[in-house]
Amino acid sequence: MLIYAKQPINYIIKNHPNKIKTLYLAKEMDKKEYSKLMKMDFELKRIPADAAGKMCKNASHQGILAEIDEYEMHDYKTFLGSEFVLVLSGLTDIGNIGAIVRTAYALGVNGIIACGVKKLPFEAIVRTSTGTLFDMPFAIETNIHDVMNDLKTSGFTTYGADMDGKDIRDVKVKHKRALFLGSEGDGLTSRVSSKLDEIVSITMSHDFDSLNVSVAGAILMDRMRV
């Protein structure tokens, strides 16, 4: 897969250099940094800026691109022995998913399960998560009800995010927990919400519609750390 831009590539160079096949440079860089890259195991190529633009369909590549290994998805059932799982119900916005992956990794989530989708563009999620996807176990399972049942039978308490839920500050969060986040437009369906153990929310200080799902998810994940 091809990724581009400094942040995700620098993260992968630092943490997962073995996943890089070829690094493409489309502009000059510091000599010391270049010498350091030359000593690494991946192939290093200089290319013209217009060639770099064609490779990434004229996106903002910041002069650096990389051909890396494909992301290997996990089986969500391997998460059932962990303590903190995040379930994304119908989320499709890649910017939001990438931000959620980054935050989940920072806040100690053990695994993420995307439901209601058959596939996702992991190439883009690697970029929008600034590379942290390679450190965050991620699974796709179309049927959210199967996921919910497996989590519950494995001892998880399930929490769903909704504006009409109980203020998360007033909830005594259980040690083995799963947070369900709904889609950007519709949130969690009533069928899903009705089967969760508790619905939680973030009380606003001012009269306001709602928070972006990645922002709300970040707040809830932080307050659900135990």
The Cα-based distances of 7 to 10, 115, 127, 190, 204 in angstroms read 5, 28, 8, 39, 33
Closest CA to 197 of 178, 175, 183: 178
Lowest mean pLDDT segment, chosen from 15-19, 181-185, 195-199: 181-185
Per residue in 112-164, pLDDT (tens digit) is 999 999 999 999 999 999 999 999 999 999 999 999 999 999 999 999 999 88
Q: Name 4's bridge partners.
A: 65
Q: At which residue do the structure tokens 């089967």 appear?
A: 195
Closest CA to 214 of 54, 112, 95, 133: 95
Class of domain 2-68 as given by CATH: alpha beta
Distance CA 13, CA 63 (A): 15
The Cα-based distances of 167 to 67, 83, 99, 171, 211 in angstroms read 44, 22, 23, 7, 14
Class of domain 76-223 as given by CATH: alpha beta
pTM, 2 dp: 0.94
Helices (H), the chain: 6-15, 31-38, 49-55, 94-106, 122-128, 144-153, 190-193, 213-223
Laid out side by side, the sheet with 138-140 consists of 138-140, 111-115, 84-89, 177-181, 157-167, 198-201
Per residue in 18-54, pLDDT (tens digit) is 999 999 999 888 888 889 999 999 999 999 999 999 9
What distance lies between CA 157 and its chain's CA centroid? 22
Per residue in 19-28, pLDDT (tens digit) is 999 999 998 8
What distance lies between CA 102 and its chain's CA centroid? 5
DSSP β-ladder status, 138-140 and 177-181 = unpaired
**Across 164-180, average pLDDT:** 96
Give the residue extent of every domain in the chain.
2-68, 76-223
Distance CA 86, CA 103 (A): 11
The Cα-based distances of 43 to 103, 186, 199 in angstroms read 31, 45, 50
Q: Phi/psi at 189 (nearest 5 deg)?
A: -70, 155
